[in-house]
Amino acid sequence: MEAADSLCLGCFANNGGRSPCPHCGWAQGTPAGSPLHLSPGTMLNDRYLLGKVLGHGGFGVTYLAWDLMLKVKLAIKEYLPRELATRAPGHTAVTIFSSERGFSFEKGLESFLDEARRLARFREHPNIVGIQDFFRANNTAYLVMNYIEGITFREYLERAGGKLPFSAALEIMMPVMDALREVHDNGILHRDISPDNIYISTTGQVKILDFGAARNVLGECSQSLSVVLKPGYAPEEQYRTRGEQGPVPYSARRRWCS
């Protein structure tokens, strides 16, 4: 941990322990932004040092992190569905609201881990954010991903004035299509493609991320799918609770599930 003491928890640059950080302005001792979030400086799996929160939503929290073994910056997503569980201030373990919600929480957690296992096979794909590790801890689960320096496609569009020439849009969307074809061929649906989940790195590489709404077709074995959508970007069949979704016919899913 001695080497980690000189790292800024806001950007993980080696700032010699100075505060605020001359690289990003992070002040040492800055608390977590919410009682639900793990505090900066928390250690996970005896290997990953957590920094600031990168983003949070209804199903989880994503942290900036440092791999003490490989000495690289990462992003770690924590499974934390707010309708089912919470975290008491000053504690690391997640608490499920009630025994009635425990089944749903555990089912979601297993899906979270299963998704990580299946997505890990794409870690070398140039247009999918790589999954490096996943594990259980604190009564929940974590997914360790490559950290990509860059901006979302939404931010990119805003900087471009809200629209792009056809050639520029095609240059961004073709890698997205390549990535989706790869995951679809393996029976995985993303189900949340939007400008927020398309990332453009500082080197110009296009990545799709946040498979939080993805459903593994191999594991569904059912025509009944919950409504998970982003208005304005979801296909019409996603608005129906019972509908055939994705590029894989239901008959094929039945064969895989049998």
Cα–Cα dist 63/242, whole Å: 34
192 is an active site residue: yes
Structure tokens at 154: 């939404």
Question: Is 107 among the annotated ligand-binding positions?
Answer: no
Of 114, 133, 185, 192, which is the active-site residue? 192
Decide if 246 contacts 184 (C-beta within 8 A). yes
DSSP track, the chain: -TGGGGB-TTT--B-TT-SS-TTT-PPTTPPPSSTTSPPTT-EETTTEEEEEEEEE-SSEEEEEEEETTTTEEEEEEEE--TTTEE--TT--S-EES-HHHHHHHHHHHHHHHHHHHHHGGGTT-TTBPPEEEEEEETTEEEEEEE---EEEHHHHHHHTTS---HHHHHHHHHHHHHHHHHHHHTTEE----SGGGEEEETTS-EEE---TT-EEHHHH-SSB------TTTS-GGGGSSB---SSS-HHHHHHHH-
Residue numbers in the known binding site for ATP are: 77
Query: What positions carry a catalytic annotation?
Result: 192
